[in-house]
């Protein structure tokens, strides 16, 4: 089992990351929580996890746009909980605009948070995982790591990039008991997509739920959003013994989006 393993999930204050933290905590993993909330809010969240699951926790609100900040965060986490056995690179942001008008700052932030941060965290965890001859690295990519969509130039570039990063690290680490995979979800019901739903609702004069349905069915044959916890359960599967042979894969969980 995973009891006593240390799992670090970036962006675990919300959405998919938070749900994944709960799924791994239920298994008895110690959890490094991370994301953009105040230190007080984060400390309270970590305390809830400690009480609910009888595990050790650590919280950081390190800004993933800053590599020095990431290194400091990872060092502090290891000092508090021990070396990282399971790394879930999940934090991510979105901005939608056509390429000609795409703000440079948004491009830089999306590449830094959705792609480069995973390079930095992976670099930090691989040596200790190799020493232990066991490790699990799971990158939350997206269906947009496999196909493109209009108005998502930075997001698609970052997500395709993380699929490439996943492949290379999986090859390098294959003899060290470390598996490295990317999960490629379709629509997941989280705050990340709220703005896209709001835009459709106001453009087409629809209710929030009507707009949500339109957004989902515009690309995804399965006419519903995934629940964040479903991604967490997939992460859990990839951490288990049955998934030992799955490495270097970009695994769609996309309601047939990329089957078309
Ligand atoms: P979310 O907005 O609910 O959570 C994002 C998390 O990232 C939060 O904890 C936030 O604090 C953190 N974060 C954002 N910017 C940060 C920064 N600069 N520094 C540190 N942390 C930062 O989003 P979500 O939908 O749960 O997304 C999680 C991952 O799943 C993302 O990588 C996203 O691209 C991916 N994904 C989401 C969907 C979807 O439909 N929601 C689909 C496919 C993939």
Q: What single string gives the DSSP state of each residue in the chain?
A: --TT-EEEETTTTSHHHHHHHHHHHHTT-EEEEE-SS-HHHHHHHHHHHHHHH---EEEE---TT-HHHHHHHHHHHHHHH-S-SEEEE-------B-GGG--HHHHHHHHIIIIIHHHHHHHHHHHHHHHHT-EEEEEE--GGGTS--TTBHHHHHHHHHHHHHHHHHHHHTGGGTEEEEEEEES-B-SGGGHHHHHHHHHHHT--HHHHHHHHHHTT-SS-SPBPHHHHHHHHHHHHSGGGTT--S-EEEESTTGGG-
pLDDT number for residue 56: 98
193 CA from centroid of ligand 1 (Å): 10
Strand order in the sheet with 178-185: 57-60, 30-34, 6-9, 86-89, 135-140, 178-185, 250-253
Q: What pLDDT, in 10s, does the model give residues 214-230?
A: 999 999 999 999 999 99
How far, in Å, CA of 95 to CA of 172, rounded? 33
pLDDT number for residue 28: 98
Q: Which atom in ligand 1 lies closest to the alpha carbon of residue 189?
A: 41
205 CA from centroid of ligand 1 (Å): 27
Decide: 154 in ligand 1 pocket, CB within 6 A. no
Among 91, 109, 193, 218, name the best residue to mutate to test ligand 1's pocket (greatest count of ligand atoms within 8 A of Cβ).
91
CA 53 to centroid of chain Cα atoms = 22
Decide: 65 in ligand 1 pocket, CB within 6 A. yes
Decide: 216 in ligand 1 pocket, CB within 6 A. no
How far, in Å, CA of 239 to CA of 235, rounded? 6
pLDDT number for residue 198: 94
Q: What pLDDT, in 10s, does the model give residues 148-184?
A: 999 999 999 999 999 999 999 999 999 999 999 999 9
62 CA from centroid of ligand 1 (Å): 14
Q: CATH number of the domain at 6-188+226-259, please?
A: 3.40.50.720
Confidence of residue 233 (pLDDT cuts 50, 70, 90): very high
221 CA from centroid of ligand 1 (Å): 23
How far, in Å, CA of 59 to CA of 248, rounded? 29
Query: HSE (CB half, 13 Å, CA atoms) of 204?
Result: 16
Q: What pLDDT, in 10s, does the model give residues 104-152?
A: 999 999 999 999 999 999 999 999 999 999 999 999 999 999 999 999 9
The residue nearest atom 3 of ligand 1, judged by CA position, is 15
Decide: 89 in ligand 1 pocket, CB within 6 A. no
Write out the two tokens for 216. 């989902």
Decide: 255 in ligand 1 pocket, CB within 6 A. no
Does residue 208 carry a catalytic annotation? no
Geometric angle at alpha carbon 132, from 67 and 159, rounded to 5°: 40
Q: Is 39:62 a contact under the CB 8 Å cutoff? A: no
How far, in Å, CA of 159 to CA of 186, rounded? 13
Decide: 142 in ligand 1 pocket, CB within 6 A. yes
How far, in Å, CA of 58 to CA of 78, rounded? 9
Q: Is 94:73 a contact under the CB 8 Å cutoff? A: no
Geometric angle at alpha carbon 83, from 51 and 172, rounded to 5°: 135
Q: What pLDDT, in 10s, does the model give residues 30-57?
A: 999 999 999 999 999 999 999 999 999 9
Confidence of residue 10 (pLDDT cuts 50, 70, 90): very high
């Amino acid at each position: 089992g995973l009891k006593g393993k240390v799992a670090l999930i970036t962006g675990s204050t919300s959405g998919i990351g938070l749900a994944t933290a709960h799924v791994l905590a239920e298994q008895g993993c110690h959890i490094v929580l991370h994301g953009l909330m105040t230190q007080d809010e984060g400390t309270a969240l970590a305390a809830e996890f400690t009480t609910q699951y009888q595990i050790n926790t650590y919280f950081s609100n390190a800004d993933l746009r800053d590599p020095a900040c990431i290194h400091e965060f990872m060092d502090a986490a290891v000092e508090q909980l021990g070396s990282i056995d399971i790394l879930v690179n999940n934090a991510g942001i979105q901005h939608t605009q056509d390429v000609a008008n795409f703000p440079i700052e948004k491009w830089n932030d999306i590449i830094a948070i959705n792609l480069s941060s995973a390079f930095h965290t992976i670099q930090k965890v691989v040596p200790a995982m190799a020493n232990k001859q066991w490790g699990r690295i799971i990158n939350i990519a997206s269906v947009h790591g496999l196909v493109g969509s209009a108005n998502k130039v930075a997001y698609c570039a970052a997500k395709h990039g993380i699929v490439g990063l996943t492949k290379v690290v999986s090859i390098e680490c294959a003899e060290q008991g470390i598996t490295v995979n990317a999960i490629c979800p379709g629509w997941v019901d989280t705050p990340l997509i709220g703005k896209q739903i709001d835009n459709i609702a106001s453009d087409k004069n629809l209710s929030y739920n009507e707009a949500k349905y339109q957004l989902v069915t515009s690309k995804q044959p399965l006419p519903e959003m995934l629940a964040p916890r479903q991604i967490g359960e997939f992460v859990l599967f990839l951490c288990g013994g049955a998934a030992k042979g799955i490495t270097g894969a970009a695994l769609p969980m996309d309601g047939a989006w990329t089957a078309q």
